[in-house]
Structure 1
Amino acid sequence: MTVTKKFTRESRILTPSQFQNIFSNPTRFSTQHFTVLTTPNNDQQNRLGLAIAKKRVKLAVQRNRIKRLVRESFRLNQHKLPHIDMVIMVKSGVDTLENEDISKQIYGIWRKIDRRLGKK
């Protein structure tokens, strides 16, 4: 099986029921500016949902910048993660970070997830 580094529609969590499934019984991972909720899935791929609240990040341009960075990091690292569905949420102050700092925090979350849930 070859490793694909695509971020397709199937890689996304889209519907309210999919989000609710994760919010109902999550495993939680956190950094200073991010909280990630995960739940195992039976699919052969990881799925990502983003919940970036306007209350936390006021400007749309900043919310979109954070989403782009998170999606790109997920696209490059998804093959290293166990099969999970995840929702990434932000905490206040994330919009003041540089792109590099955001990427480092997200990469740290991927490492935490891999260490704790790991491929079995």
Structure 2
Amino acid sequence: MGENQFSRELRLLTPSHFTHVFNDATPAVSPSFTVLARPSGQSTPRLGITLAKKRIRKAHDRNRLKRLVRESFRHKQHNLPNVDIIVIGKSGADTLTNQEVFSTLDKLWKKLAKRCKAS
């Protein structure tokens, strides 16, 4: 259980961390999410989540999606390179079931790992 934690060291916390990733990112895109990554120099991958109120109107939907993204990241973090990752929610992401969100994110994690190792 300890290896799947989501501690402070695994999160992007400040606006400067987010700006660093946005400036020069490697994307992985699906109809519901965009995942951006950039090498971090850290010993573990780190995650940031942005779900705009304009795209996902209801707070309980944004909270559910954030929980699912964090859970998926915790389970897949050991297969990811040491990069800073930002997950951006698109319109319609709130209509997905939990299983659809997990399967979409699994595909994006694999795509991202492949692209980051190539570059």
Which category describes the TM-score, using the shorter chain as reference length? Answer: over 0.9
Q: Quick check: 2:46–2:83 contact (8 Å CA) kept in 1?
A: yes
Name the CA distance, whole Å, in 1 between partners of 2:101 and 2:80. 19
Bigger helix share: 2
> Which residue of 2 is the match for residue 104 of structure 1?
103
Which runs of at least 4 in structure 1 moved beyond 4 Å after TM superposition? none
Quote the offset at 1:36 in angstroms.
0.8
TM-score after normalising by structure 1: 0.93
AA paired with 1:116? R
> Which residue of 2 is the match for residue 57 of structure 1?
56
Deviations 1:33-82, CA, capped at 9 Å, x for gaps: 00011100111001000010000100000000000000000001000000
The unaligned stretches of length 5 or more in structure 1 are none
Q: Quick check: 1:81–1:118 contact (8 Å CA) kept in 2?
A: no
> Which residue of 2 is the match for residue 70 of structure 1?
69
Counterpart secondary structure, 1:89: strand
Q: Quick check: 1:39–1:85 contact (8 Å CA) kept in 2?
A: yes
Quote the offset at 1:117 in angstroms.
1.9
Name the CA distance, whole Å, in 2 between partners of 1:50 and 1:114. 18
Kindly report the root-mean-square deviation, in angstroms, between the aligned alpha carbons of the 2 structures.
1.6
**Identity percentage over the alignment?**
44
AA paired with 1:26? A
Name the CA distance, whole Å, in 1 between partners of 2:40 and 2:52. 25
AA paired with 2:10? S
Deviations 1:95-118, CA, capped at 9 Å, x for gaps: 111110011000100110122223
Q: Quick check: 1:29–1:36 contact (8 Å CA) kept in 2?
A: yes
> Which residue of 2 is the match for residue 87 of structure 1?
86
> Which residue of 2 is the match for residue 25 of structure 1?
24
Q: Quick check: 2:68–2:101 contact (8 Å CA) kept in 1?
A: yes
Q: Quick check: 2:27–2:112 contact (8 Å CA) kept in 1?
A: no
